[in-house]
Amino acid sequence: MNRLFYLNHSAVYAHFTKNSKDFVVTEIPLYEFSGEGEHLILKIRKKDLTTWGMLSHLSEVTGVKVRDFGYAGLKDKDGMTIQHVSMPKKFEASLEKLNHQNIKILEKNYHNNKLKTGHLKGNRFFIRLKKVNPTDAQKLKEIIKTIKKEGFPNYFGYQRFGREGDNYDRGRDILEGTVKERNKKMRNFFISAYQSHLFNLWLSKRVEISKLFASFNEEELFNLFNFPKEIIKKVKSQPAFFKMLPGDVLHHYPHGRIFICENLEEEAERFTEKGTTITGVLPGAKATCATGIASSFEKDFTKECEPYLSKMQGTRRFAWIWAENIESHYKEDEAQFEFSFTLPKGSYATVLLEELTHITNFN
């Protein structure tokens, strides 16, 4: 997956499968619904269905076209997920015909607007690990303490890249023109996987750089990177593991705007306090680019797609995030370790799980 872990512990053995008992995702809405309006808001619990599969079934039952449903985010097929869906209020009575063992409407509400992609604060996750011995359970608790304090790299998870992990290759081929994809939705999907792949490569490199700054002295770092010695000193002295560089594109965390890092010491302190975070680029014509030293590392991974920037919109993504409200519980008699946590939208619970256990073959 081209990802480098930032923690250095040995692997923690655990058994995990994505099923409705051991993996639960609960969507956190961006705002409270008004209670009135032309859009019916459904809080739906689904099991072992993609969001698209759920919407297709709802369409068959109600007569509402799939494009007229609104949703804040696509959820995993495997496991239990709770999310909100909007549909035209005038079709509400048709829901009485809904009878699907894996779809249950938990609540109804109303709102003035259709739900749109991104209209969520984040997601709450529950994960149950099995076959965990007491020693590894204690180890997990200590690792969780570290991640709670320091955060972790916001890689794209394996789900982004398809069963064989090579969706990004097709995306690159589409941009190069060697492969044709007539379906616009699939075309955008594959190109997005390619952007995500480049982001993961860049982020893994930045994690590597941060490890080097933690391991070597200033003179050795000067020989490695040839940065000005004053910059070496400022980066080395940063309290956070993930090192900020001059010219990084930062973002107020968890909400706000992006801006360029100009005062390294001041912004590094705000990053430590979780007031800002560093972002990585998803290349495209409209993406803000890093400057200075940070730009040189960014371009190492974006230069290959420069001829195709006009074919991609582009944006920035949090490179480093923090899991909030982490809770854990070990059931020694059953050798099960359960934990819950909240992540910002677009982040992957499996990435956190892999950082915890250093196991990458859960899929």
Catalytic residues: 76
| C-beta of residue 316 within 8 angstroms of C-beta of residue 283 | no
H or E segment at 252? strand 249-252
3-state secondary structure of 168: helix
Q: Which residue shows structure tokens 């990053």?
A: 271
Q: Which residues of 72-110 are buried (b: 16+ CB within 10 A; e: fewer)?
A: bbebbbbbbbbbbbbbbeeeeeebeebeeeebeeeeebb
CA angle centred on 80, ends 103 and 96, rounded to 5°:
15
> What's the rounded Cα separation, in Å, for the pair 119 and 122?
9
Q: What are phi and psi of 178, to 5 degrees?
A: -85, -15
Question: Phi and psi of 344, rounded to 5°?
Answer: -65, 160
